[in-house]
């Protein structure tokens, strides 16, 4: 459970009294960041070569190269990752945070300059304790205040008038949702916000509308050239929609629904996605992937792309509002027809989580392509 923290779990965890009141972090220090564009050798400086697995079973190595001159920035807040035994994490980076960045963030370097602060988030042990009915005294303000301080430092010292995409998943998306509502929505700084990618959290809008609810002046994105808007979705297999007790995709607030904007098709419809998966591990909470081809052949890279294998669309109805994805299985070819990634707890499937662990990987290529497109539109409009 190294990444996941739903909006419901977040509410449950963050409601307790503060367990401490540490001093603010100094985000002028390089050690307070996981990734920065002015620092070599950080958590984003990894080999991102992928193996492209074609439908005919052939492999092709696909090198990756970032753009050090990217015209826009990305400000990223990571999901629940810390394994620290305390209710809130410390500021020491562990393999959990580094692994999360490698799965969710590093590839964005092809579209933007990356800023990823470390923050004292609610930890995995705290999440486990809460779900077991033994909640810890977590400090929601500490986690939020860290991100707010990092954001303000970024604006004052690093932004320099550039457009920025705010991007987070799960707990990170929830923190950014509050940051946008309290500090950006309808304020002058919103002109710097190219878009907000709030993935794996429930962003509420009035039914049938794209603005209102959680944000009063920030609509859901519906075109690739639209800026100052939000892309948000929660993912489920098409064959396993949100159950009645789902943590995602449903709301009890009258007149409200959960926003869904597919980054591959903001206007709607079923389209082919461009996922990037782990070659040997989908996520720490998920079962390992099936062999990518039959007969099985090893893959030397950390990442895999599978062109044409996944399609998805936003669905809104009685079972909720969510990104429904499917595997385009073809038993006649040697490529796998199965994708793992469902959330597991003690080895048991957790339908109320959907495919929370795959929220980002299933649309990784599409999110990056959209970031580049919206970035170009923002730069053109700013001239």
Domain boundaries, the chain: 7-382
Average pLDDT on 200-215 reads 97
The upper half-sphere exposure of residue 131, i.e. CA atoms within 13 Å in the direction of its Cβ, equals: 19
What is the rounded radius of gyration, in angstroms, for the C-alpha atoms of the chain?
20
**pLDDT tens column, 263-305:** 999 999 999 999 999 999 988 888 899 999 999 999 999 999 9
The upper half-sphere exposure of residue 235, i.e. CA atoms within 13 Å in the direction of its Cβ, equals: 29
Question: CA 284 → CA 34, 281, 301, 351, distances in Å?
Answer: 20, 7, 18, 17
Q: What is the pLDDT of residue 197?
A: 98
Q: What is the pLDDT of residue 142?
A: 96
Q: Is the pLDDT of residue 339 over 50?
A: yes
Q: Is the pLDDT of residue 327 over 70?
A: yes
Q: Is the pLDDT of residue 6 over 80?
A: no
Residue 354, phi-psi category: left (phi > 0), alpha (psi -120 to 50), beta (remainder): left
User: Crossing angle for the helix pair 7-14 and 171-179, nearest 10 degrees?
Assistant: 80
Residues with Cβ within 8 Å of 77's Cβ and at least 6 positions away in sequence, in order, are 116, 117, 119, 147, 166, 167, 168, 172, 173, 175, 176
DSSP string, 117-165: E---PBPHHHHHHHHTT------HHHHHHHHHHHHHHHIIIIITT--EE
Q: Is the pLDDT of residue 11 over 70?
A: no
Q: What is the mean pLDDT of the chain?
A: 93
∠ CA(193), CA(196), CA(201), 5° rounding? 155
Task: Look up the pTM and report it.
Answer: 0.93
What pLDDT band is residue 147 in, cutting at 50, 70 and 90? Answer: very high
Q: Is the pLDDT of residue 161 over 60?
A: yes
Q: Is the pLDDT of residue 74 over 90?
A: yes
Percent of the chain whose predicted confidence (pLDDT) is above 70 = 95
Question: CA 351 → CA 169, 202, 235, 239, 321, distances in Å?
Answer: 19, 17, 11, 11, 15
Q: Is the pLDDT of residue 177 over 50?
A: yes
Hunting for tokens 């469902």 — which residue is that? 342
Hunting for tokens 């990056």 — which residue is that? 368
């Amino acid at each position: 459970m190294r990444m996941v923290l739903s909006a419901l779990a977040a509410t449950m965890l963050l409601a307790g009294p503060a367990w401490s009141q540490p001093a603010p972090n100094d985000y002028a220090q390089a050690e307070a960041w996981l990734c920065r564009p002015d620092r070599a050798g950080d958590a984003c400086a990894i080999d991102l070569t992928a193996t492209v697995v074609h439908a005919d079973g052939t492999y092709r190595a696909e090198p990756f190269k970032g753009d050090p001159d990217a015209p826009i920035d990305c400000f990223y807040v990571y999901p629940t990752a810390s394994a620290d035994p305390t209710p809130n994490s410390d500021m020491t980076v562990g393999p959990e945070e580094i692994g999360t960045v490698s799965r969710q963030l590093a590839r964005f370097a092809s579209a933007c300059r990356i800023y990823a602060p470390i923050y004292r988030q609610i930890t995995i042990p705290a999440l486990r304790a809460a779900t077991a009915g033994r909640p810890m005294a977590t400090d929601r303000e500490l986690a939020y205040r860290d991100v707010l301080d990092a954001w303000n430092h970024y604006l004052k010292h690093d932004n320099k008038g550039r457009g920025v995409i705010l991007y987070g998943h799960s707990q990170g998306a929830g923190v950014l949702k509050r940051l946008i509502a309290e500090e950006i929505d309808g304020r002058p700084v919103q002109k710097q916000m190219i878009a907000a990618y709030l993935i794996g959290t429930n962003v509420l809008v009035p039914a049938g509308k794209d603005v209102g609810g959680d944000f009063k002046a920030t609509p859901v994105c519906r075109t690739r050239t639209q800026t100052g808007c939000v892309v948000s979705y929660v993912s489920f297999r098409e064959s396993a929609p949100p159950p009645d007790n789902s943590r995602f995709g449903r709301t009890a607030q009258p007149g409200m629904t959960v926003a869904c904007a597919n980054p591959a098709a903001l206007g709607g419809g079923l389209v082919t996605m461009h996922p990037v998966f782990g070659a040997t591990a989908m996520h720490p909470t998920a079962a390992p992937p099936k062999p990518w081809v039959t007969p099985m052949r090893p893959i030397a890279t950390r990442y895999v792309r599978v062109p044409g294998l996944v399609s998805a669309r936003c669905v809104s109805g009685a079972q909720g509002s969510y990104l429904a994805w499917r595997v385009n299985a073809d038993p006649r070819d040697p490529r796998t027809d199965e994708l793992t990634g469902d959330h597991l707890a003690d080895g048991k499937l957790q339908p109320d989580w959907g495919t929370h662990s795959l929220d980002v990987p299933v649309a990784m290529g599409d999110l990056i392509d959209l970031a580049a497109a919206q970035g170009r539109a923002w730069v053109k409009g700013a001239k």
